[in-house]
Structure formats: C-alpha cells, structure tokens
Structure 1
Amino acid sequence: MPVWQSIYEELKDKNFEIISAAQDTGGEEAAGRFYDEANVSYTALIDQNHTISSLYNLIHVPSGVWIDESGKIARINIRTFSRPRNGEEESPYVIALRDWIDKGSDSEYAWDTQDVISKIRQRTPDELLAEPTFKLGNYFFANGDEESANIYWERARELNPDAWNYFRQSWYFEADFDEGRRRFGERMRELNNTQQDPLFFSGDEVIINN
C-alpha cells in the first residue's frame, strides 16, 4: 500500500487514477487497517463478496486491470507487484505502467482488443462450480458459521486450484495471519500457474487511466 500511494502521488497529474478494491470477506475489520496505515489518498474500496474478482475472473493475488479513459481494457489479469525484487531498481510492473500512462495505446505493454479477448480467462465447468461454492463459504463466514465456510472454501480450492484468491482468503481465516501468509507463500512456490503474465511474475487493485 505505501508503494502504491507513492506511485499515485507521482503520477496522478498525468490523467491517472487508482481504484483499489480489497477482496476480503473479513470486511473493514480485516482490510481497513492496511489502507489506514498507508494513509492512501486514491479511491479505496473493500469488496467483501469478491464481486470484482468474479466479474473480471481475476485469479492472481494481487491482480490488476488497466482501463483507459474511453473505458477500454488495455491489460487484464496481471500480477501487480509494485516492489522491486531480485536486485531490480524498479518493479517491471511499475515500469510498464509508467510506459502505458505516457504512451497510451502506443505503449508496447498495451494490448489490442483481440489480445484482451484472448487473455480473458474462460472458466472450465469445474471453475464455474467453484465460484458459487466459494461464495457460499463467504456467506457462511459472514453469518458466523466458520465450520461450514471452511468446508465450502476447501471445495472451491479443489475445483479451481489456480485461483490464488481462494487460497489467500480461506487460509487467512483458517489460521492466524502469519500462518496464513506462510501457507500462501508455500503455495506460490509450488504451483506453476500457466495463466500468469510472465512479464510481471518477477502483484486486488483495479487501475484506471482516465
């Protein structure tokens, strides 16, 4: 969050806006503190039922969508890691984002319509079933039945093992925060997710250039 706030302050005068939508069934209690600690000035939402992830079929954590001023998607379902890694001076994602903000559709990182269509992940029959299964887990959790929530969350993970968001959400409630983070980190190392955007593998914010 602090990194995104810094990036926003740098780029907000270039017709750029961030809408950050935390996908967290725990609501304000679970997700609000991260916004507060970062003192964000961009639009910050909490999506308790993971509606945005469902509508865009986003599977990465964190994940992003680029939308230009005309409402056209320029890139979708990409990992939006903002922090440099492996000795990099700057995250490849942030470098690409700056290029897109400066050049718009002429950016080498912006996809044309056919690219976007081809990159929108189509759900398999199991993945279609996983979505309402996961939402049932959210429903039971919101109504205080954690045992039933965990049953449905586990089933959703089995039906769609590529959906990082399912793992991240359920594990953070099944265990304490540090244990959930450890499990998630292990899962990231174990899986070779064929749907990831390789450019940004090296980070739930919806990014809008308007």
Structure 2
Amino acid sequence: MIEYIKGELTELTPAMATVEAAGVGYGLNITLTTYSACQKYLSHPGSAAKEPVKLYIHEAIREDAHVLYGFYNKKEREMFQLLITVSGVGANTARMVLSGMSVAELCNAISTGNAKLIQAVKGIGKMTAQRIIVDLKDKIVALGIAQEIPAGGSIASPVNNAVRDEAVAALTMLGFAPAPTQKVVVAILQEQPALPVEQVVKLALKQIK
C-alpha cells in the first residue's frame, strides 16, 4: 500500500499530476482542488528547483489497470474513499464531486441534507445525491472528516481536537456510539472552548440521548 508520494512535481494539468520520486515518475489522477494547491510546486526547465510536493495516495487496482489518485491532504482522500463506497459513485464521479466542491462544502451539504447542492455537480442525479447524504451523514462525523454541524446548519468553527478526541474516546468506552457522541462534544466545545476533558464528558453525559 502506498500512503503518499513525495518528490518533484514535473507535470501538472487540472486532471493529472506527475511526481518524480527516486527516479520514477508517478502519474496521479487529481481533483481541481489539489491542482490549485499544487501549482506552486511545479518545476520548470531551467528554473530553480522547487520544494517537493507530497500527495496522499489512493490505489485502484483492477484487472486491466493500476490507477493512482493523489490528494493534497488526508481529509480530501478520506472523503474520496467514502464517496466511492456509495452505490452509483465510482472513482471518476467522486473526483468530479471533489473538483466541484471543497471537502467543507460537501460536508455541509451532507450534514444539512442539501441534495440540490450536490446535484449541481455534473454526473450526479437526484437519487445519487440522496444516497450520498444518507450513507455518509454519520460517517463524516465519526471519522472526523468535518467538524460537526451545529443545529443552525453551517460548519462550526474549529475546536480543540485533542480535547474533542479524548472526550469522544472516553464516552465511546462507556458504550455510547461515536457519531452522536461527537456531535454533542463538539457542540459543547463550540460554546465553551476552554473546558477540560473531564468537564466536557460530564456535560456530554447529561446531553447524549
């Protein structure tokens, strides 16, 4: 399994990045988001060497091909890997979705049930958009891909991840499901970001249903 490839970015198009590492040029399928992030790393003949680029990899191994997908950060890769678990969403469709929306925008659409926003992406119909929402709504929270969406509907501001993770872990050990637990914990930290773990856990125990 390839976790990431780090090396010189020698070629770049909106759909493909070529990264040379240890003398091997890897052709990576990318999203428009990763394309934009990678432009500053592109090396040009005769110019000073740029710093190496690091792209996280998803491997798709088929009978007729070994395809690599590259992502600028882990959250985009994780969202891609979730999308391709949805019935009717293949790798190319998932890449199209993540080219049309950022991870935060997609998480917001999923969490608020905004199927129309997802349908705006080319190749995504009504049924597929609804399946994405139903299948992934809890998973994006449980895996920490997005900060939880508060009742008001928009993406919450960042919270103390260390406190959040420790509190969720403690509550999970007590028998509570991760997804609803994280919703409650993040809501608490949004209102009182300086709370220590033990206080967050105590408050969460009163609120988890």
TM (norm. structure 2) is: 0.24
Larger RCO, structure (CA 8 Å, separation 6 or more): 1
TM-score (norm 1): 0.24
Structure (1 or 2) with the larger CA radius of gyration: 2
